[in-house]
Structure 1
């Protein structure tokens, strides 16, 4: 068995895993107010297995980025020793692959065996696992034997008390470090009372820590109620979901903080860590609750970005300060020749999560122009671009070959031209060659190209606009999705691009 670095689950209060709520801002806020352990939202193993681990120097975070560019999991050093990564899985080996990918950035790994929502159960995950004890045992044993971090699971109770006890004893024998028990059956919903007696029976049946969950509606309304819920269930720890979602200051032993102050602190973390605006807005709506129809609620409903949310809450000064700070940090990293993300070799292709931002370049300058001129100066063949188009969202991704080496951005672009530009940026950054950004030393690149185009056309032609055939001798290939392959085209290759999709995000 791999050596385990233990995170204690005894006498703790934890933020429960909640889809859409358990992202970095909420986790940090819960820690601020006194939570001992914080769980991330359930993340599906199929999607996580496709992610690249990226050290985000600008935000000072570690990001797990999906092929479509979405950050599936973002964490930072402050929570490293107290964040538990919860995954949805029904496959032992895939679960191990994901757990090994993230284990150095988290304190423990948890398997969701309690979510009753269809998006989880239809894949054999979540509460569906409760009817397959053999698979539960295989998944947990595989993880315990293959990881250096504690492994836990979260379950719901079974209709029979005897069956529940039998299951948790079997789970304990796998070597897990703790069990979280939601005191409802998978058919029951939050409006129905929690079965404290079932949780108590579990706590008495096993020697490992049990975290009681499910008391937010009736039993836990203030911080002092946490101890009462612990006593009522006989558990050694308590896990809070909706009570913490409504007001994370429930973890504060000094008493609750006004919800307006809590929301302000949440927004600060959301801006500081570039949280997705949809997620920011969702969490704030949960905190507003009955005030959703208030003037503030209507302003929040209309906001579409974190900046607009800050405008609604009168926090533009803070927003501008953070934007300036991040810009200074970005410029400092660039000045010291530190890439905001590090290139990695995937097979024979150098990859980086790079997106082409047109505003970062002068009107007549693009990375493709710089790469072409650099290749000419080094007496190399012209860059060769191969592009694929993804069927589900028509996104594009290009790979550029230069001097028998290949380069690609892991992020998908909205157009073929932008995808080629992004690939060029990756190539130039790996090579350490200027890419033409505003304020960057050109080292004499593109000057010859500009003179040629000025002589031919009387003006410089932007590289990302349709080039004249006689000026553009570069080879281009595109791989089309099956839908596009049937259309008349002179482009080559017809391999489909298959990409996984994240489950529907609904609070569980």
Structure 2
């Protein structure tokens, strides 16, 4: 919350992304001008009930700050139980009210909650009674924006600390443009900070959205997945950012599927179709490393040495 109060520019935020916004990626984007980073969406009931789920779904360290953990829940009890367990290790608790996937709607979580504002209000109230960290919501807009206004007002009435608004309805495809009008309206009626989500692929997009809506910051998902350095002003992923990710993923330990897919997103625009077919067929971490060493001169030991030397210079 201090970031919102002392900011001199709109805040840059990395969105919660299922599977992808794990600890190595969160540390990566922090190196490229990202102010706040979210965990992947986590099921609150499973997190609260299972030690295995807690160990596999959430890891953090002293560098992972500020971090917002996002939970999907269908009721306040599950959410508050999960929030109480994790509150000492995070900067805020976020409620997912925006996931549009069919399975989420069937489970009465995610964007299903946009039609159940009373449940969301109960979630916020119960969670804030149990933890001392801020509680936020990530919402979508309604087709009738008057419903969105009422939804936001209910959340404000029980002390929600900040709001992220995705500028599409739950039925709109990601290829459809976001509603700047809807995001602006949320900012106008809100008495707490508001972040805008959707169609953030460059700093030009950031400036356009902020100018049109007046929000306190912007959040990127697909854009930052393709280019983790976008908030630092890069129009495509710089090679040093890819090296940084490989180093972090290897250091922390990342399974081959996630490791491969992150690199596919980052390299997609620079690879030829033939190379994409070859790269997409790789299934193990060693084979991916071999490809990057052969075709891109990847040298992790050199990268680590350079980083150590830079750290020494900063200390002097």
TM-score, normalised relative to structure 1: 0.55
Query: Alpha-carbon deviations, 1:441-479, whole Å to 9, x = none?
Result: xxxxxxxxxxxxxxxxxxxxxxxxxxxxxxxxxxxxxxx
**Matching residue of 2:252:** 273
Query: Cα 1:306–1:235, aligned 2, differ >3 Å: closer, same or farther?
Result: same
| Contact 2:184–2:215, Cα closer than 8 Å, also in 1 | yes
**Matching residue of 1:24:** 23
**Matching residue of 1:15:** 14
**Matching residue of 1:243:** 223
Aligned pairs, number: 297
Give 1:349-364 correspondences, 5 Å limit: none
Partners of 2:251 and 2:129 lie apart in 1 by 37
Query: SS where residue 75 of structure 1 aligns?
Result: coil
For residue 233 of structure 1, report the CA deviation from its aligned partner.
1.6
Partners of 2:78 and 2:180 lie apart in 1 by 34
Aligned equivalent of 1:166, options 134, 141, 150? 150
Aligned equivalent of 1:225, options 194, 205, 212? 205
For residue 296 of structure 1, report the CA deviation from its aligned partner.
4.5
**Matching residue of 1:501:** none
Query: Cα 1:35–1:269, aligned 2, differ >3 Å: closer, same or farther?
Result: same
**Matching residue of 2:122:** 138
Query: Alpha-carbon deviations, 1:371-422, whole Å to 9, x = none?
Result: xxxxxxxxxxxxxxxxxxxxxxxxxxxxxxxxxxxxxxxxxxxxxxxxxxxx
Query: Alpha-carbon deviations, 1:80-117, whole Å to 9, x = none?
Result: x3110001111211111111111111111101001101
| Contact 2:140–2:170, Cα closer than 8 Å, also in 1 | yes
**Matching residue of 1:263:** 242
For residue 290 of structure 1, report the CA deviation from its aligned partner.
4.4
Deviates more, 1:109-118 or 1:297-306: 297-306
**Matching residue of 2:300:** 318
| Contact 2:228–2:237, Cα closer than 8 Å, also in 1 | no
Matching of residue 195 in structure 1 with residue 179 in structure 2: yes
Query: Cα 1:156–1:313, aligned 2, differ >3 Å: closer, same or farther?
Result: same
Which runs of no fewer than 5 residues in structure 1 stay unpaired?
1-5, 53-64, 323-508
Query: SS where residue 86 of structure 1 aligns?
Result: strand
Query: Cα 1:196–1:292, aligned 2, differ >3 Å: closer, same or farther?
Result: same
Deviates more, 1:21-30 or 1:127-136: 21-30
Aligned equivalent of 1:209, options 193, 204, 217? 193
**Matching residue of 2:313:** none
Partners of 2:275 and 2:31 lie apart in 1 by 25
| Contact 1:212–1:239, Cα closer than 8 Å, also in 2 | yes
Matching of residue 112 in structure 1 with residue 85 in structure 2: no
**Matching residue of 2:57:** 72
Query: SS where residue 40 of structure 1 aligns?
Result: strand
**Matching residue of 2:166:** 182
Query: Cα 1:99–1:319, aligned 2, differ >3 Å: closer, same or farther?
Result: farther
For residue 144 of structure 1, report the CA deviation from its aligned partner.
1.3
